Homo-oligomer: A and B are copies of this chain.
Amino acid sequence: MVTMTRTVVLAAPSEQSSDVTRVAVSTVIFTLRRDPAQENPVIALPLVRRTRDPYEGLWALPGGWLDQDESLDDAAARTLAETTGIAPSYLEQLYAFGAVDRSPTRVISIVYWALVRPDEIPSHEAVPAYDAENVTWVDAAHLPPLAFDHTEIVDYALWRLRNKAGYSRIAHGLLPDEFTLAELREVYESILGRRLDPANFRRQVDNSETLIPTDRFRTGSHRPARLYRYNQDVELADRGPLIARP
Q: What residues make up the interface of A, taking CB atoms closer than 8 Å to B?
A: 4-14, 19-23, 66, 68-72, 93, 95-96, 98-100, 106, 108, 110, 155-156, 159-160, 163, 166-167, 237, 240-242
Q: With A71-B100, A108-B72, A108-B108 in contact, do A8 and B5 touch (Cβ < 8 Å)?
A: no
Among A22, A70, A71, A155, max chain B CB count under 10 A is at: A71
Alpha-carbon gap, A163 to B11, bound state (A): 48
Residues of B within 8 A of A8 (CB): 8-10
Q: With A6-B12, A10-B6, A108-B23 in contact, do A159 and B98 touch (Cβ < 8 Å)?
A: no
Task: Determine whether the beta carbon of A5 is less than 8 Å from that of B12.
Answer: yes
Q: With A21-B23, A21-B68, A106-B68 in contact, do A237 and B98 touch (Cβ < 8 Å)?
A: no
Task: Determine whether the beta carbon of B68 is less than 8 Å from that of A96.
Answer: no
Residues of B within 8 A of A166 (CB): 167, 237
Residues of B within 8 A of A66 (CB): 21, 98, 108
Residues of B within 8 A of A21 (CB): 22-23, 66, 68
Residues of B within 8 A of A22 (CB): 21
Task: Determine whether the beta carbon of A110 is less than 8 Å from that of B98.
Answer: yes
Q: Nearest chain-B residue to A108 (Cβ)? A: B23
> What distance in Å separates the Cβ of A155 from its nearest Cβ neighbour in chain B?
6
Task: Determine whether the beta carbon of A163 is less than 8 Å from that of B240.
Answer: yes
Q: Nearest chain-B residue to A74 (Cβ)? A: B100
Q: Nearest chain-B residue to A69 (Cβ)? A: B100
Alpha-carbon gap, A6 to B242, bound state (A): 43
Alpha-carbon gap, A99 to B93, bound state (A): 13
Alpha-carbon gap, A6 to B11, bound state (A): 6
Q: With A98-B66, A241-B156 in contact, do A9 and B11 touch (Cβ < 8 Å)?
A: yes
Could you write out 12 A-B pairs with CB less than 8 Å apart? Answer: A4-B14, A6-B12, A7-B12, A9-B9, A9-B11, A21-B66, A69-B100, A71-B99, A72-B108, A98-B110, A108-B110, A156-B241
Determine which of B20, B69, B156 lies in contact with A242 in the assembled complex, contact meaning CB atoms within 8 Å. B156
Q: Nearest chain-B residue to A241 (Cβ)? A: B159
